[in-house]
Amino acid sequence: MAASIAVTANYVLQPPPYALDALEPHMSKQTLEFHWGKHHRAYVDNLKKQVLGTDLEGKPLDHIINKTYNNGDLLPAFNNAAQAWNHEFFWESMKPNGGGKPSGELLALLERDFTSYEKFYEEFNAAAATQFGAGWAWLAYANDKLKVVKTPNAVNPLVLGSFPLLTIDVWEHAYYLDFQNRRPDYIKTFMNNLVSWEAVSARLEAAKVASSSSA
Amino acid sequence: MMTVAVTAISSPLLLHSQGPNRQLLQWKRNEKRRLPTKVAGSGVITAGFELKPPPYSLDALEPHMSRETLDYHWGKHYRTYIENLNKQIVGTDLDALSLEEVVLLSYNRGNMLPAFNNAAQAWNHEFFWESIQPGGGGKPTGELLRLIERDFGSFEEFLERFKSAAASNFGSGWTWLAYKANRLEVANAVNPLPKEEDKKLVIVKTPNAVNPLVWDYSPLLTIDTWEHAYYLDFENRRAEYINTFMEKLVSWETVNTRLEAAMVRATQREQEGTYTEEEANPDDEEPEVYLDSDIDVSEVD
């Protein structure tokens, strides 16, 4: 089973690793105030209420996610638990003055598994743009391969046995204040100006260690 | 290297199906088809769905739904569904059909064809604009109120359940009041002749683009709970949006008109014998049923 990387905080609303206005002009402070301050906060608060007094209480977040995923027949706490996890992972996938191209081992693997960085970009962009309704697009690592995955609503690659490395939130609340219906522009801005390749590289390292130790 | 689309649900449970679509189309064929329009410059005549304006101006629902919202929701989202649908179906079998027919055929028993999302969203949005009006809200009257009271206990009880369904529809989707004239409790079933007591009002919540037409229900009212419907006016406060919708926007007149039409249709179908026992059970087997277990439809009783 895939170990959770980095995001293990138990039901605490962690602030993003930058000020709420630090991603401007690419992602506005107003968006962060709502997205982090209301949506993400509500998932955490509601999760706490939901697990209180049950045998899920006090368990690590990724444990709750895998248990309540229940092979696709979702149990009540799944949506809140997974959304709490997904959002923390999302804030950490970005940084001020992000974007550009990855380097080192990560770039090598992207070129190996997608032929080129441009091809990866295209595929990630397409996944994010075509996830109909609410959901997420991911770069994930499994069986020593990188792949692009798109998921609906709160689902994430942990439940598929993969290590998430990067995500973009394509629920409308993620981009509506800044881009309204223009999701393709949001995705482009995310890729060109926000993504933190350092974070992705660090996660890849952790994923390789975790998968070799559990092999 | 592969892009994987994941759904957190098991694959549809298919017994067999008589093809409810075939029966539905029999009577829907009477409905008005769109007229073909010439495409400028190309000399090719092709049918194109048109962007219908709402039955009120874009600022007429203020302050309950802003002009800005209508500019985006109607002027961009809805417009894009129509334009993309037209591009998708031009020159195909779906091209000469009515919008409802495209929705039903592309639903394809839950294994949706590419045109479904655009077609259903085009249909849903037109239905949504017509479900609301300036100076809306209040209470229904007449037959509609009588049926609401019969099937939900009271108008207040209906309101609570409808609002709760809309608030709890996770992700993108719609919540509906619909008239159901089916005997069976399962969706998509070939429908043996319903009795009077089988006909009732139901509340249904659907994900993404799905709507109750695909289960042969008659939609009467809908609220759009995709975030784009309320984000500019209410941000994350969906419950407030739903309250405002019910108190200030819903057009009970329209709902009533739709109910009357639905009841007439149900009667007509029975008289025409669209449902026949022989057709449903050719070899005296159990009625064939297609269960849509991949769609989380909660019929809120």
Q: What is the pLDDT of residues B15-57, one digit of tens each?
A: 333 344 444 444 444 344 454 444 444 445 556 899 999 999 9
Nearest CB to B172 within list A126, A134, A150: A134
pLDDT at B292 (0 to 100): 47
Average pLDDT over residues B185-207: 75
pLDDT at B276 (0 to 100): 46
Contact check, Cβ <8 Å, B8/A155: yes
Q: Which residues contact B23 (CB under 8 A, 6 or more apart)?
A: B190, B274, B275
Min Cα separation B222/chain A (Å):
17
Q: CB of B135 within 8 Å of any CB in chain A?
A: no
Q: CB of B257 within 8 Å of any CB in chain A?
A: no
Min Cα separation B9/chain A (Å):
5
pLDDT at B192 (0 to 100): 60
Find out whether the peptide bond into A25 is cis, omega within 30 degrees of 0.
yes
Q: CB of A152 within 8 Å of any CB in chain B?
A: yes
Q: Tokens 């049923």, residue?
A: B289
Q: What residues 232-251 of chain B have any CB closer than 8 A to a CB of chain A?
A: 232, 235-236
Give strand pairing partners of A168. A137
Average pLDDT over residues B105-132: 97
pLDDT in tens, A75-107: 999 999 999 999 999 999 999 999 999 999 999
Instruction: Provide the number of CB pairs (under 8 Å) joining chain A to chain B.
Output: 93
Q: In chain B, which residues have their Cβ closer than 8 Å to the Cβ of A172?
A: 172, 226-228, 231
Nearest CB to B5 within list A39, A150, A176: A150
Nearest CB to A127 within list B3, B208, B227: B3
Q: At what angle do helices B20-28 and B252-272 cross, to 10 degrees?
A: 110
Q: CB of A149 within 8 Å of any CB in chain B?
A: yes
pLDDT at B24 (0 to 100): 47
pLDDT over threshold 70, residue B296: no
- Rounded CA-CA distance B4/A140 in Å is 11
Q: What residues 72-91 of chain A have any CB closer than 8 A to a CB of chain B?
A: 72-74, 79
Q: In chain A, which residues have their Cβ closer than 8 Å to the Cβ of B172?
A: 133-134, 172
Q: At what angle do helices B142-152 and B252-272 cross, to 10 degrees?
A: 80
Instruction: Report yes or no: B196 and B151 within 8 Å, Cβ to Cβ.
Output: no
Nearest CB to B171 within list A72, A126, A133: A133
Could you tell me the two tokens for B27?
A: 């009577």
pLDDT at B271 (0 to 100): 80
Q: In chain B, which residues have their Cβ closer than 8 Å to the Cβ of A155?
A: 6-8
Q: CB of B170 within 8 Å of any CB in chain A?
A: yes
> Quick one: closest CA in B to A126, which residue?
B3
Under the banding of pLDDT at 50, 70 and 90, the label for residue B185 is low
- Rounded CA-CA distance A167/A154 in Å is 12
Min Cα separation B204/chain A (Å):
18
pLDDT over threshold 80, residue B301: no
Using CA atoms in the order A6, A7, A13, A18, what is the torsion angle rounded to 10 degrees? 40
| Average model confidence (pLDDT) across chain B | 81
Q: CB of B112 within 8 Å of any CB in chain A?
A: no
Q: How far is CA A103 from CA A106, A118, A130, A200, in A?
A: 6, 13, 27, 11
pLDDT at B4 (0 to 100): 45
pLDDT over threshold 50, residue A8: no
Could you tell me the two tokens for B12?
A: 């549809």
Average pLDDT over residues B230-249: 97
Could you tell me the two tokens for A140?
A: 């994930």
- Rounded CA-CA distance B256/A11 in Å is 47
pLDDT in tens, A38-78: 999 999 999 999 999 999 999 999 999 999 999 999 999 99
**Helix ranges (DSSP H) in A75-149:** 78-91, 104-114, 117-130
pLDDT at B77 (0 to 100): 97
Average pLDDT over residues B178-204: 74
pLDDT in tens, A123-165: 999 999 999 999 999 999 999 999 999 999 999 999 999 999 9
CB atoms within 10 A of CB A205: 13
- Rounded CA-CA distance B226/B276 in Å is 39
**Between residues B21 and B65, the one the model is more confident about:** B65
